[in-house]
Amino acid sequence: MDPLLATATAADAPSEATRPRPPAEPAVEPARLWAIGDLHLSYKGNREELEKLEPKPNDGLIICGDVGETVEHLRMCFSAAKACFKQLWWVPGNHELFTMPSSNGKRGEDKYMECVKIAREYGVLTPEDDFVVWEGDGGPCVIAPIFTLYDYSFRPDHVALEDALEWAAEENILATDEHLLHNDPYASRIEWCNALVERAQAKLSEAVMQNPGTRLVIINHWPLREDLVNIPLVPRFVIWCGTKQTEDWHNTYNAKVVVSGHLHVRRTDWIDDTRFEEVSLGYPKQWHECQERGMDLNDLLREILPGSDPPPPGAPTTLWRRFGKGTTKTHPIFLKGAKR
């Protein structure tokens, strides 16, 4: 090359100082873990809300039971959620276990396993899959979906087990479960619950041993503690809300967070060193006030990890979340719950 041409070419070339730099990679926010339960997609209004789910492609979502009664409801939910979130977890509620005319005769455990099969088609993790470690914001934590059912032990001391249904009926309360939730192949729902509790205990114990020092996020549709059941409109529905066998699992299994639904009463509680999150959406009429305030399904997703900070020492330990994020300054943020 002509040395003068080479000199001119070099002079025209951008210097290190002026050479355009490649665009910076967009900052990736730490992954967060969210939860929602009790979507009840048999209701048209709730199905329409599911269509509004906004993408959080770096995040995870817990679906905490009662998606609906049919396999079509599950497919609708998993398809929409999978398009928006990186990883999904699901636990069954009582409604998934209902035997409907469209259930092809599947009852009890067979109906549950059909739901598990559908979840796996979408890559959704269930109580039948291995627990995984969450490495995103708020972690590491072992994400532990379980399935326990109920055994009618959430009842007053003066009410005998054999009288529990009659006691509820005195207030005209009878769960649909008594007609549609079958316990095949077990002799009773109590026997099925006992078997499920035993399996969950073994799996949680193994997770604690295999991950020393790593805390768990336990996910179950039914609350683990009776003192977290606050349903003043139907108080005797409590007998279908869990089992006393799980009362201290948050301590036994080193839980950082326990996530549940079922009650349709959104709240956050701190007990001992554990945060308890009730994350249900509920039937349309139960959250229409949120919609009147301009909120949608996205506003009612609960952040599980990293999640809320605990209240300061001496402060009440219950945060009511009727409108998603808690009450406004014109209402007390914390309300005292029952003595624990």
CATH number, domain containing residue 61: 3.60.21.10
Angle between the 108-121 and 71-82 helix axes, to the nearest 10 degrees?
30
Residue 57 sits in which domain range? Answer: 31-320
Q: Which residues of the chain have pLDDT under 70?
A: 1-28, 326-340
Query: Does 18 reside within a domain?
Result: no
Query: Does 266 reside within a domain?
Result: yes
- Distance, CA of 112 to CA of 93 (rounded, Å): 10
Query: Does 230 reside within a domain?
Result: yes
Query: Does 333 reside within a domain?
Result: no
Q: What is the pLDDT of residue 11?
A: 41
Q: What is the pLDDT of residue 27?
A: 60
Query: Does 13 reside within a domain?
Result: no
Query: Does 23 reside within a domain?
Result: no
Q: What is the pLDDT of residue 20?
A: 60
Query: Does 163 reside within a domain?
Result: yes
Q: What is the pLDDT of residue 326?
A: 53
Q: What is the pLDDT of residue 103?
A: 76
Q: What is the pLDDT of residue 19?
A: 56
What are the distances in angstroms from CA 203 to CA 143, 148, 174, 198?
Answer: 12, 12, 33, 9
Number of other CB atoms surrounding residue 1 within 10 Å: 7
Output the pTM of the full model: 0.88
Candidates 319, 312, 310, 318; CA nearest to 338 is 318
- Distance, CA of 240 to CA of 231 (rounded, Å): 12
Domains contained in the chain, number: 1
